[in-house]
Amino acid sequence: MGLNINLNINSKNPRRVNLAKSWTNSTIYPYESFISNGVNISVSINTISLASAYTNSIDIIAGEKYLVKFYMQLNSVKAPDYTFYLNGNGISGQATTARYTAVQGHNYRIITIDTSYNNAEFVFRTDATSDLLDFSIINFKMIKII
């Protein structure tokens, strides 16, 4: 006699769903050129000052962990920073203690949330600078893992 176990695995497990649906160029500190489609950013160029772009809003709770992964095509020496912010303009209210700098190629990071907040966004941001910033993002994923 053998043990027969039938596991029903739901492909719509909420822990595996990409929570990112779209990108928005900041209206307060926009990238000078910005084109996005769904989770991809095909053009993001900045040469003058602070700029940010953010995902659709999600509710976050302190202690939650999110897997963030994407492919970056970096067309400049400088790359943007990224993390979760409490507002999409990426100018105040960081939801984590750290900001990370993206790199050319595959980026993969688990980010722990420090602050509970409704309507937080994941933000790509560049500080005020006169350096050229030029990048695109392919297959951005933001997945709640805990």
- pLDDT tens-place string over residues 66-108: 999 999 999 998 899 998 987 655 555 778 878 899 999 999 9
Domains of the chain: 19-144 (2.60.120.260)
pLDDT, residue 5, reads 42
CA proximity to 89, closest of 53, 114, 142, 134: 53
Mean pLDDT, all residues of the chain = 85
pTM for the predicted model, two decimal places: 0.82
pLDDT, residue 91, reads 56
Is the CB of residue 88 less than 8 Å from the CB of residue 98? no
